[in-house]
Amino acid sequence: MSEDPNAALVTPKPKAAAESLPRTGFILLGMLSFLWGMNWPVMKIALSEIDVWFFRSLCMIFGGLVLLGITAAGGRSLRVSSTEIKPLMLCTLFNIVGWHLLSAYGVSLMAAGRASIIAFTMPVWAALLGSLILREHTTWRHWLGLALGMAGLAVLIGPDLITLGQAPLGAVFMLCAAMSWGLGTVLVKRYRWTMPTAALVGWQFLLGSIPITLGAVWIGEVPDYESLSSAALLATAYVLLVPIGFCHWAWFKVVSLFPAALAAIGTLAIPVIGVLASGFLLGESIGFREILALALVCAALVVVLVLPALRRRGRP
Kindly state whether residue 160 falls inside one of the protein's structural domains: yes
Domain with 142, as residue range(s), is: 28-310
Determine if the pTM surpasses 0.75.
Answer: no
Degrees, nearest 5: CA angle 27-33-36: 125
Residue by residue, pLDDT tens for the chain (316 residues) are: 333 333 444 444 444 444 456 788 888 888 988 898 888 788 888 888 888 889 889 999 998 998 899 889 888 889 898 899 999 999 999 999 999 888 877 776 766 666 777 777 777 788 778 878 877 777 787 788 878 878 877 787 666 666 555 556 777 888 899 899 889 989 988 888 888 888 998 999 999 999 999 988 988 888 887 888 999 999 999 999 898 888 878 887 887 788 766 776 777 778 778 878 888 887 777 778 778 877 887 787 777 766 766 666 556 5
Kindly state whether residue 260 falls inside one of the protein's structural domains: yes
Kindly state whether residue 21 falls inside one of the protein's structural domains: no
As a whole number of angstroms, the distance between CA 131 and CA 66 comes to 34
Evaluate whether 117 touches 157 at the Cβ level (below 8 Å): yes
Kindly state whether residue 316 falls inside one of the protein's structural domains: no
Of residues 153, 87, 92, the one with CA closest to residue 117:
153
Of residues 97, 249, 275, 302, the one with CA closest to residue 184:
97
Kindly state whether residue 194 falls inside one of the protein's structural domains: yes
Kindly state whether residue 2 falls inside one of the protein's structural domains: no
75 φ/ψ sector (left φ>0, alpha ψ -120 to 50, else beta): left
Kindly state whether residue 187 falls inside one of the protein's structural domains: yes
Kindly state whether residue 17 falls inside one of the protein's structural domains: no
Of residues 209, 199, 247, the one with CA closest to residue 56:
209
The count of domains in the chain is 1
